Amino acid sequence: MDQYQDKQVFGGQRRLTPKPKVCGEQSFDDDLHPQEAGLSLASEDCSTEETEALLFALAQAVEQRDQHTAGHCERLAFIAVAVGMALRLNRPNLMTLYRGGFLHDVGKIGIPDSILFKPGKLTAEEWVVMRSHATRGEEICRHLKSLAPVLPIIRHHHERWDGTGYPDGLRKNQIPLLARVVQIADIYDALTSPRAYKPAFPPEQALQIIEEETSRGWRDPDIVDLFFRVHKGIITKIAYYDIGGDSNLRALRNSLADLQTLMDAVA
């Protein structure tokens, strides 16, 4: 995981910009009501049965290894979709964010427990192994054609805006947009949840750390600006929209509708 997940903490404050950047022209109604907009629930090349079966089985296998990460993927996926909706991304991209939220760390299934749950600082050699989870995860999911849109999220959610991330050292807009969205959601949930090496940080401290890392050039400032804008009204309320054990595309559709209602209420 990245620096704050690497046991390093930074401070700082953020000054919000007045308006977020908006990507895309498609309306939220089209995203949330595909039957009315003439859109398919899943993308054209997506086999719903295959995707759901692999998506949640692998995600649960990773989460069940550590009591501290229980629910992490579900919360991350929901936060990422909320940010994606604020970006006005279309429905296929929202679905990709959701799947990517669950599968982003699936490669950790191949990381030894001695490294994954080490309470202290990792050695240089251990970091090589830990960082391999991004490419391991991509390789695991590459064999399922329907997950092709999710692969860039899995591979690139640890890249940095200034090019110092991994595995490919991409910088700025070379990093796929959806990977940048999932990255911020991942950071926030990791910071506000307990881990073997740290307690859960309060939201205010988590936001300070994200601000500091953005100032260092590690995070996309536009995505971070948007995240800060929707945090108070949307992200802090996501716990009330738990989709529970029925984690499938029908549940996601209902959850998206709930999110839309919430976003309309605080707009």
Q: What is the pLDDT of residues 186-236, one digit of tens each?
A: 999 989 888 777 888 999 999 999 999 999 999 999 999 999 988 877 777
**102 belongs to a structural domain:** yes
**7 belongs to a structural domain:** no
**225 belongs to a structural domain:** yes
CATH label of the domain that carries residue 62: 1.10.3210.10
**11 belongs to a structural domain:** no
DSSP class of residue 41 equals S
pLDDT at 259 over 60: yes
| Band of pLDDT at residue 28, cut at 50, 70 and 90 | very low
Note whether 154 and 110 are within 8 A (CB): no
pLDDT at 261 over 80: no
Q: What is the pLDDT of residues 241-253, one digit of tens each?
A: 444 444 444 555 5
**2 belongs to a structural domain:** no
pLDDT at 29 over 70: no
Range with the poorest average pLDDT among 7-11, 108-112, 230-234, 244-248? 7-11
Beta bridge partners, 198, equal: 195
pLDDT at 169 over 60: yes
Q: Give the chain's mean pLDDT.
A: 76
Structure tokens at 148: 């092709």
Axis-axis angle for helices 221-231, 177-191 (nearest 10): 50
**132 belongs to a structural domain:** yes
| Torsion angle in degrees (nearest 10) through CA of 15, 87, 141, 165 | -30
Note whether 118 and 126 are within 8 A (CB): yes
Sign of torsion over alpha carbons 200, 2, 68, 124: negative
Q: How far apart are CA 48 and CA 53, in angstroms?
A: 8
> Which runs of consecutive H residues, i.e. helices, occur in the chain?
28-32, 34-37, 48-63, 72-86, 91-103, 113-116, 124-131, 133-141, 151-156, 177-191, 203-215, 221-231, 249-266
User: pTM of this prediction?
Assistant: 0.75
Q: What is the pLDDT of residues 34-79, one digit of tens each?
A: 333 333 434 444 455 666 676 667 777 777 776 666 677 888 888 9
- The residue segments making up the domain with residue 242 are 48-266
**260 belongs to a structural domain:** yes
Q: How far apart are CA 203 and CA 224, in angstroms?
A: 14
Instruction: Give the count of domains, the chain.
Output: 1
**261 belongs to a structural domain:** yes
